[in-house]
Chains A and B, each alone.
Chain A
Amino acid sequence: AQSVTQLDSQVPVFEEAPVELRCNYSSSVSVYLFWYVQYPNQGLQLLLKYLSGSTLVKGINGFEAEFNKSQTSFHLRKPSVHISDTAEYFCAVGGSGGSNYKLTFGKGTLLTVNP
């Protein structure tokens, strides 16, 4: 079974400050990892994904994430946030092989960027 823990339910930051949203996962098989963003009353938009290869993944809107297999983490970072980054962020894990068609989502982290 797979599970995802997003360690912070809410993260308030000031504009132009750096931010890190934390995600830990558990899985007994090789994993694929994702970060999605959701703006109010909208669907989820893919920010970035790790399937294989380089452990540092760059996504849209200046976000990046690092896959750390030994710590089973996939934290999302941005060096300087904007007001428009205010949204809810979801980490998700999918497995390879027989379970590669299902994703397990974390409960989300609400990022609030203040002026």
Chain B
Amino acid sequence: DGGITQSPKYLFRKEGQNVTLSCEQNLNHDAMYWYRQDPGQGLRLIYYSQIVNDFQKGDIAEGYSVSREKKESFPLTVTSAQKNPTAFYLCASRGGQGARETQYFGPGTRLLVL
């Protein structure tokens, strides 16, 4: 089945630790996105990538980093500089003939601070 997978489902971070969230898609989509979701805040864009080896900051990129070495993969690292990392993180991809603006989402990773 085609789709987007995120792992792990739950992730615990200690103070001062960097953690990496995985996002993989087999939809052959060029564009991929990372969003952060907090209760009552909707979704806020962290980073996006429209093509391999290229990515841009979104609205809340501080304290996060990404890479896009393969079309299928867009991992997100939450660094120690992110002081309030507790949130639900969603990965999405966009593409397909005629899909235009349509983004498809993975199941999410919940990050908690110990």
Cβ of A74 to closest chain B Cβ, rounded Å: 13
Residues of B with Cβ closer than 8 Å to A? Answer: 4, 6, 31, 40-43, 45, 48, 50, 58, 88, 90, 92, 94, 100-108, 110
Number of interface residues of A (CB under 8 A): 22
- Interface segment, one of A54-62, A64-72, A105-113: A105-113
- Point out the residues of chain B lying under 8 angstroms from A105, CB to CB: 42-43
| 8 Å CB interface, A89-115 against B | 90, 94, 100-103, 105-108
B55 to chain A, nearest CB (A): 12
A residues less than 8 Å from B88 (CB atoms): 41
Please give me the residue from chain A that is nearest to B35 by CB atom: A105
The answer to whether A100 touches B101, judged by C-beta atoms less than 8 angstroms apart, is: yes
Contacts of A28 in B (CB 8 A): none
User: Which residues of A come within 8 Å of B, CB atoms?
Assistant: 9, 32, 34, 36, 41-46, 49, 51, 90, 94, 100-103, 105-108
